[in-house]
Each structure stands twice: as C-alpha cells, then as structure tokens.
Amino acid sequence: MNMLNAYTVNATIGGMTPILLAALAGVLCGRVAVFNIALEGKILIGAFFAIVGSYFTGSALGGVLCGVLATMLFSTILAYGVTRFRGDSIVLCIGMNLLASGLTAYLLRQIFGQAGVFSDPAIAEVDRIVIPAINTIPWLGWIFSRQTPITYLSWLLVIVVAIVLFRTPLGLRMRGIGQNPEAATTLGIDVGRTRRWTVIAAGALCGLAGAQLSIGTVGIFAEGMSAGRGWIAVVAVMLARDNPIWAAAVCLLFAIADTFSVQLQAQGLPNQLTDAVPYVITLVALVIGALRGRRRRMAPV
C-alpha cells in the first residue's frame, strides 16, 4: 500500500467534493419528494459557468459565484416544472441533463470558439488552503490540508443540511412535505413554494460542485466533464435514504473505492477498465444495500 501517497489521498478527497455537494442537493430534493436526477446536468452547468465567470472576472470567487448563480437559474426549470407546471420530474430531469450537455458545448464554441476542451491562462483557479501546522503530517495533512475552500465548505454543509432538516421549523416542514404533501397543504404550508426554493437551493449546491470540478481541480472545462458524478450522487442519495450524514458516508466510501481504482491503474491496469470501477462499485453497493434491505424487510417486526 505504499502507493497511497499524499498526492493520491489529497486528490481523492478533493475529487469527492463535487459528488458530496451534489448528493446533498439530492438529499434536499428527496426530502421534499422531488426525484432529482438532473444532478449530472447541473454539475456541468456549474462547471461551465464557473469557467466563464473566472475567465471574465479574473477571479476565482467571481467564477464560483457565476457557476452558482447560473446553476440556480438552470434549476428553476425543475423548480417550476414540477410545481406550477406539474411536469414529470424524470422527464424534466432527462431533458435538463441533455440541455446541459448541449448548451455547454454550444456556448463553449460560441463564447470561446473552442470544441471539446477549453483551457486558458486567464482562468483563475480556486486557491488551496495550506494549513502549515498539519501540512506534512501523514494522513491528517494529506486529507485536511491543501484543499479548496469549497471542499471545507462542503463538509460544513453536511452539518448545516442535517441541522436544517432535523432541528428547524423549515426542516420539519420539508420532511412533512416529502411524506404527505396534501397534509402539509391542509396545515397552510405552501408546498409549491417550499419545493421551488429547495430545488433552487439544491441548484446552488450543484453549482458549487461544478465550480469545484472545473476551477477547483483542473482549471479547464471539458465537454461532459461531469462524467457520471451526478449519477453516483443520485445513488448515494438512494443508499442514504435522504439522510445527509449517511450520504456523506456513502460518498466517502465511493472516494475510497475511487482511490482503489487509481491504485489499480498505477499497478498497470488499463484505464479503460479502471474508469468503470466507480460505477461497478456503485452497482455493487446498490446490490448489497438492496440485499440488506430485503433481509430487514423479511425479519419479523
């Protein structure tokens, strides 16, 4: 296991951030019973517009804000689609994912005149925070130092989301809406509005996820660079049963699995195979989760 070096661990933790943020977005939507499988497309929108903002403002913060705002705006399609227009969330989300991949590719050509990949020295990347006290300590420093502010924020957001959901009036209402929207209506809760704002807030989280992916990791935009992360987040939400803490744990598990696949690649396994490892692990996790769930259901009450 000598391959588990500082760089790999550090990169894995940073690479987990977009999935974690998207999973938190999925948790919020799941709580208000909006099945959000547009996470993939939202990450992509966030990644692209973070590059746009970063390129034109010359500041990483400008990039992050641009990514977040654009993704919130993009999320209004789902927010209004499932409430005011009573669309089917699955169809809407499929449409949004395709719109995201088409739109980012189109705008990449129209704004930057590039196809495929865009990199430019004018793109300001998010700085990493080095914590000198622990920076060189194995594991501790590898994990907790040299991460972007977005990564630290994502951990904080796990706790914030958990507190909002389980300790505030708003969270109680959200949980109520998810369980029985008609009952919530009879108590005077505006179900549509709560759902809309939840979906839009989740959009902000996905925007952060995208920003981390583009200007927080590599400083480039590539078409389709979300590469299935949004779908892994969807699975994490399912396995965690809409619980933010569990979702974080599942994401961590995926990150460990991902490190493992990087290890395999370093051992000489071709990347075509190792690239599929996260998805195979995700599938295996689903199967194990389902088997466990079934045993629980079989057990006497």
Point out which residues bind another protein (CB under 8 A).
37, 77, 81, 84-88, 90-92, 94-96, 98-99, 101-103, 105-106, 109-110, 115, 167-169, 171-173, 175-176, 179-180, 182-190, 228, 231, 234-235, 238, 270, 272-273, 275-276, 279-280, 282-283, 286-287, 290-291, 293-294, 298, 300-301
Min separation Cβ 154 and another protein, Å: 22
Nearer to another protein, 132 or 268 (CB): 268
126 vs 206 by CB, closer to another protein: 206
CB of 98 to another protein, least distance (A): 4
Residue 132 or 188 with smaller CB distance to another protein: 188
Residue 131 or 269 with smaller CB distance to another protein: 269
Q: What is the dihedral of CA 103, 104, 108, 114, to 10 degrees?
A: -110
> Can you read off the two tokens belonging to residue 136?
């060189």
Residue 126 · residue 54 · CB < 8 Å = no
User: Helices (H), strands (E): how many in the chain?
Assistant: 13, 2
Which amino acid would we find at residue 283?
L
Phi-psi region of 22 (alpha: psi -120 to 50; beta: other; left: phi over 0): alpha
- Fill in the DSSP letter of residue 145: S
DSSP 159-170: HHHHHHHHHSHH
Q: Which is nearer to another protein, 3 or 115 (CB)?
A: 115
Task: Please give the structure tokens belonging to residue 71.
Answer: 């993704």
Least CB distance from residue 12 to another protein, whole Å? Answer: 19
Q: Which residues pair with 222 in a beta bridge?
A: 117
- CA–CA distance, 301 with 299 (Å, rounded to integer): 6
Instruction: Determine the residue type at 265.
Output: Q
Round to whole Å and give the CA distance between 88 and 23. 21
- Least distance to another protein, CB of residue 139, Å: 30
In the complex, what is the shortest distance from the CB of residue 9 to another protein, in angstroms, rounded to a whole number?
Answer: 24
Specify whether the CB–CB gap between 37 and 25 falls below 8 A: no
Nearer to another protein, 152 or 193 (CB): 193
Find where tokens 């966030």 sit: 46
Shortest separation between residue 137's beta carbon and another protein, angstroms: 36
Are the beta carbons of 148 and 216 closer than 8 angstroms? yes
To another protein, the closest distance from the beta carbon of 19 in angstroms equals: 14
The residue (of 103 and 153) whose beta carbon lies closer to another protein is 103
Residue with smaller CB distance to another protein, 109 or 128:
109
SS3 240: coil
Compute the least distance from the CB of residue 101 to another protein, in Å: 7
Pick from 290, 208, 177: which is nearest to 19 by CA? 208
User: Which residue carries 């501790």 as its tokens?
Assistant: 140
